[in-house]
Chain A
Amino acid sequence: MSDQGFKKLLESAFPDTPDVVIERMQTVSQQALQHKKAKRKKLMSRALLAALIALTLTGAAASVLNHYGVFGFGLGMMYGSEEYYYTLPEVQDMVHYELCTTQVGTMEWSVREAIYDGRVLRVVYAVRDTTETKPFTQQQMNSENMQGIASDYYYAMCQREGMYLAADGNGAIAINGLEVNLESVLYRLGEQPGEVLFWIDCRMEYYDQEAQQYTSIQPEGVIDLFLAFRYTKERTDNPPDGMHFIMNVKDAASRYAVEPPAPYTLKIGGVVRFTDLHFSPATVYITYSITVPKAQVSDWDEDALWDIHSEYWSREGNLMDANGKPLGVNTTGWGGLNIDEYGDLCLRYHTEYTPSDAYTDTIYLIMGDEKVPIPMGYANP
């Protein structure tokens, strides 16, 4: 039988796509596009501003999130459940409040909350039209297009005043003078009259021109943050050049870091190397790789690889304490696999979890049938 004939045979083995599958796909698509609508409006407004100032704007990544607060704002809507933005009580001591306020004409800008837990910086700032006297209606606040309304309102304010935030265009915040990329910029209507709230999420990476690559920073102590304004009209009132604020993040980058253990060899072959282990009261970050030497690649059967690979997608998480208790909820992650120049199979993963109240001296990352130990050592929070 030819390949074509075999294909026809296989085709005839499957029934038509059932309605339940089509309906589910349509539902997910519609929900995604409604969120996208809000994002597109934002980009169109940016394009308009770009025309006004003859500046090319590149969009900052935006997501579709909801809720107030430096944590809930970011993760609530994506997962729809508070368990995904659970933090330990001590995180409250790490949040900085009311960091700066500045006014330009009728626009009041204020940095409300910020936290840096040693790996990720999150900031909530508000922009308010001071001439507005009435709050947004409940219908507007609860609208499925709330983000679109917020975006339109914000850019209308910006156009009236002839200014905007540079981060709207270049997707970066200056940290200790370095232009660090923003991962996400989200917005929603605020409760005050004429107020739009923004949430930015920054994974502390900047593009190193010399090295031609993205490089991470993990600052400690007092850090200097700056969100620059851009003006599209001549002003005579000597306006501020941006929102400038400082935070004492102390030793957040090192305090919650756990020393990566020695490489661990899986029974099936392949070596697990942890490159970053960070257990802050806000989030647990785990970055690791698995290298399977070329000679052993063929020993890895499909099930073994799937067991490990699929853990990465599992929202239940694959972190466990010494008593077999699951630790935290897997909130996000990314990874990939490739064959390197030596023919070795390399799997790389980064996963994040909500924190746990307590850890046993050794915890485990579950990979299929194997438990890879992570000694918590002195850094047990």
Chain B
Amino acid sequence: MPVQTDAFVQCAMELQRTLYRVAKTLLRSDQDCADAVQEAMLKGIAGAGRLREEKFVKTWLTRILINTCKDMLRKQSRVQTVELLEDYPAPPINPQAALYEALSSLDEALRLPMVLYYLEGFTVKEVSDMIAVPEGTVKRRLWNARKEMREILKEEAI
């Protein structure tokens, strides 16, 4: 039976924290994260009827969100970089921000699977489906991400 709108919305609202963190992994500005999450929700609601079970909502909606963030990044990269720099000139001043900066300094190809797997608890298979790379590649990236993260933290003395 297809997933009904209210069930989809309820699942999506429970994923608030996950959706924000996934968006924040790819986009720096909270405003952009809000735009991406909203867009992903709209796309998700429009297509919820094609989902057969509620258990797939988390993976599916996260995948839509990732696509949406990627779209936004591509558009931003075409349009402007000056504004982005002006928006984010301040150096990190607290431990949380320092950690976020450390995370952000990782290549996107490493940081996204790392957040999806270690933080959000998706399986390697789910991460593989979501970012469309083979499972072996996901595993390799997870290993590299963790290694690089450890080195950055050591360098930055965080």
Chain A residues with a Cβ under 8 A of chain B: 1, 3, 6-7, 9-15, 17-18, 20-29, 32-33, 35-36, 39-40, 61, 78, 297-298, 300-303, 305-306, 309-310, 312-314, 334, 337
Contact = CB atoms under 8 A, between A and B. Distances in A.
B57 interface: no
B37 A29 contact: no
Contacts of A309: 67, 132
B51 to A, nearest CB: 11
B76 to A, nearest CB: 14
Nearest to A29: B9
Interface in B101-137: 102-103, 109, 114-115, 118-119, 129, 131-134, 136-137
A contacts with B: majority SS: helix
Nearest to B7: A36
B contacts with A: majority SS: helix
Contacts of A313: 43, 64, 67-68, 71
Contacts, number: 127
B90 to A, nearest CB: 14
Contacts of A305: 131-133
A28 B35 CA distance: 11
A202 B4 CA distance: 20
B40 to A, nearest CB: 9
Contact of A36 (B5, B43, B99): B5
30 contacts: A10-B114, A13-B99, A13-B102, A13-B103, A14-B20, A14-B21, A14-B24, A14-B100, A17-B16, A18-B20, A20-B31, A21-B16, A21-B23, A21-B37, A24-B37, A25-B38, A25-B41, A26-B13, A36-B4, A297-B134, A300-B133, A301-B133, A302-B109, A306-B132, A309-B132, A310-B67, A312-B67, A313-B43, A334-B47, A337-B129
A314 B2 contact: no
B124 to A, nearest CB: 13
Contacts of B139: none
A337 B130 CA distance: 10
Given A306-B70, A313-B67, A32 B9 contact: yes
**Residue among A27, A312, A314 facing the most chain B CB atoms (10 A cut-off):** A314
B38 A24 contact: yes
Contacts of B95: 12
A356 to B, nearest CB: 22
B33 A32 contact: no
B115 A10 contact: yes
A29 B13 contact: yes
**Residue among B5, B24, B150 facing the most chain A CB atoms (10 A cut-off):** B5
**Residue among B33, B68, B133 facing the most chain A CB atoms (10 A cut-off):** B133
Contacts of A312: 67
B47 A314 contact: no
A81 to B, nearest CB: 13
A20 B34 CA distance: 6
Contacts of B33: 18, 21
Contact of B45 (A18, A20, A32, A301): A32
Contacts of A17: 16-17, 20
Nearest to B46: A78
Interface in B15-67: 16-17, 19-21, 23-24, 30-31, 33-35, 37-38, 41-43, 45-47, 49-50, 64, 67
Contact of B5 (A6, A26, A39, A306): A39
A18 B99 contact: no
Given A1-B150, A13-B102, A18-B30, A61 B49 contact: yes
Contacts of A306: 67, 70, 131-132
A309 B118 CA distance: 24
A312 B47 CA distance: 13
Given A12-B96, A25-B37, A310-B70, 14 more contacts: A14-B20, A14-B21, A14-B24, A14-B100, A15-B100, A18-B34, A21-B37, A23-B34, A24-B37, A28-B42, A29-B12, A36-B4, A302-B133, A334-B47
A56 B136 CA distance: 48
B41 to A, nearest CB: 4
Given A10-B119, A22-B16, A310-B70, A61 B2 contact: yes
B34 A314 contact: no
A1 B147 CA distance: 11
A89 B81 CA distance: 42
Contacts of A13: 96, 99-100, 102-103
A24 B39 CA distance: 10
A335 B12 CA distance: 21
B71 A6 contact: no
A32 B115 CA distance: 29
B5 A32 contact: yes
A12 B132 contact: no
